Chain A
């Protein structure tokens, strides 16, 4: 099993947000985690990436049969976990390509591979930028600085395409995207699907799943997964909303 989350409890700022979550993700699988606002979706993503304000009070997370909870964010990243941020951070003065090169070489070092030479790296990022329909000028700008919402999300998927993670967690990558941008993002994700790479798509809306077909859909309500199923579950949610599930959760 690639990722195994068992009875996970997470608090942020003293408030318990995730209250006993179980999830298993196998290699090559695409899982969608859906849920209403405040259900703990982003906390789950942040916890998996190692954000220090997400305090694990109980439960376990294993990744490739290794306990993930003791690892720093960079150790997780270089071990192949990628987080596509819901709100990518603007970092003036840090160059987009410089960041990517440092990140890629950190990943390669972890895999025991040599640093990529400059020409090969340039070829790689040009190819991936083309895939994401990103203008070359974006590459040499400061990280996310002055990017529109859609450009920021595209940049996240571009990073993912370059870094080729084992597990990609995409936190509300669809939010704030118009339909054309969504198609580009979905195309970027679909092009990266293979028998090995797993995805955790965290989303509020079903519409992303029209373009990226998940193997499994989970519904997260109040810190717990209350329903799991195949892609048809997403359509049920779209038709009936979260209200029915919220009532179900409230009644235990």
Chain B
């Protein structure tokens, strides 16, 4: 019962398909086989292509996509889908230098248009039993892991965009640990999309063994109207702990779709911070399945949009086992005519007794034309649980604004101070101090570049 009501897939009375501009089948035919060349992967890709062609992009007739229309994504033209550069790249080294994170201890993999860039990817020293590799550079045992892991959590039959990503999969990153291994360095995966018609399908696979721990940062940048469709699959074995941060700073004309599918075994912990600062249209789906007793997760999100940007965050906390805890707090800041969507759902399955869940959505509208649709939801099929949810949407506190201005702070500076305070609550949730600073700086820069309508 609970599973069936998770989302309404189709409304038979609605127009449920979007005409694709380009032919995906033709593009698929032109694509080179993945460098790893494994026959199973080619089979999987072909199956994914058929799934995607059958399902197409999600449409606004689907409840989960009613506010986010992908027509512009589906109909945009592109020269290629597999990331092979067809036009001269700009100085992406400069982008890495300027925009890429520089953490004191990190193991980095930098991709430009989906192509690995060894020159910009400083590697750290990985402890024994911790494996970080690219899909196109796997040794035998790792190929088995990839075959077992790819699509195990983000099912291509269940998720349109996972099918699209898998069909056009070129390269990706896999992190696997044996039991009781600690990855002390941060695994940093930077994806940069350059060029006008670029489409990239980043893929990240994380599997932590029993009692292992790691910190992973995914970072997305672009220079123009590219389309990124990222899929991340995360499995935390019993007692494993993952600190995860996704930072999305795409170009204001870019399209960014991303999904993280997380599965938690007993007593494992997933702490995720999701920061969305860019893109013309951005959608992030974060789904966490707490399927082992005593698993814990906390999700914190910050999204900021201005101009005509559209930014959509969907989260699902699927409590499938007893004694699990989840905490979720998302903050949205919308200016100009930007539109934000937050849909957070807590699902407590039959038998998930003693679930402890709290979900909060807080939103700040800085301009009269800005808009937010927020919907925190609880769906509970167990009777001994503690669940709460709430949503607030407001403008800047008038009393606080006047207080600051009466002390001599300009209106603009007072606004920035209050917005920074609102965002800091989320940034402080980032576990590593080294990461907190650059993220705070990126948020501050976002504010400084804000060209907002004067406040009334």
Contact = CB atoms under 8 A, between A and B. Distances in A.
A50 B407 contact: no
Nearest to B428: A93
B400 A91 contact: yes
Contacts of B388: none
Interface residues of A, number: 31
Interface in B158-189: none
A163 interface: yes
Nearest to A90: B400
A223 interface: no
B405 A72 contact: yes
Nearest to B402: A51
Given A89-B399, A102-B413, A73 B418 contact: no
Given A94-B418, A99-B417, A50 B406 contact: yes
Contacts of B400: 89, 91
A52 B403 CA distance: 12
A99 B420 contact: no
A49 to B, nearest CB: 5
A103 B408 contact: yes
A89 B414 CA distance: 14
Contacts of A99: 404, 407, 409, 417
Contacts of A74: 405-406, 408-411, 414
A103 B409 contact: yes
Nearest to A80: B408
B406 A91 contact: no
A121 interface: no
Contacts of A82: 407
Given A74-B410, A74-B411, A163-B408, A93 B424 contact: yes
B89 interface: no
Contacts of A52: 402
B146 interface: no
Interface string A104-115: 101100000000
Contacts of B418: 91, 93-94
Contacts of B402: 49, 51-52, 73, 89
Interface residues of B, number: 22
Nearest to A53: B398
A78 interface: yes
Contact of B421 (A73, A89, A91): A91
Interface string A142-168: 110000000000000001000100000
B406 A73 contact: yes
B24 interface: no
Contacts of A142: 421
Nearest to B408: A77
A88 B402 CA distance: 11
B116 interface: no
Given A85-B403, A102-B413, A93 B408 contact: no
Interface in B415-429: 417-418, 420-422, 424-425
Contact of B406 (A49, A93, A100): A49
Residue in A51, A74, A102 whose Cβ sees the most chain B Cβ within 10 Å: A74
Contact of B410 (A92, A98, A106): A106
A88 to B, nearest CB: 7
A88 B404 CA distance: 10
A83 interface: yes
A99 B420 CA distance: 13
B409 A102 contact: yes
A248 B357 CA distance: 63
Contact of B403 (A78, A91, A98, A107): A91
Residue in B397, B403, B408 whose Cβ sees the most chain A Cβ within 10 Å: B408
Nearest to B410: A74
A115 B409 CA distance: 14
A83 B406 CA distance: 7
Nearest to B424: A93
A89 B420 CA distance: 17
A233 B72 CA distance: 75
A51 B413 CA distance: 17
A52 B456 CA distance: 10
A93 B420 contact: yes
Residue in B399, B402, B413, B421 whose Cβ sees the most chain A Cβ within 10 Å: B402
A91 B420 contact: no
A251 to B, nearest CB: 37
Contacts of B397: 89, 91
A240 to B, nearest CB: 35
A73 B409 CA distance: 9
Contacts of A51: 402, 406
A160 to B, nearest CB: 10
B407 A159 contact: yes
23 contacts: A49-B402, A49-B406, A50-B406, A72-B411, A73-B405, A77-B405, A85-B406, A89-B397, A89-B403, A91-B404, A91-B418, A91-B421, A93-B418, A94-B417, A94-B418, A94-B420, A99-B417, A102-B409, A103-B407, A103-B408, A103-B409, A106-B408, A143-B403
The 5 closest A-B pairs by CB, nearest first: A93-B421, A77-B408, A73-B405, A89-B403, A103-B408
Given A72-B411, A94-B420, A103-B409, 6 more contacts: A74-B410, A77-B405, A98-B417, A104-B408, A106-B408, A159-B407
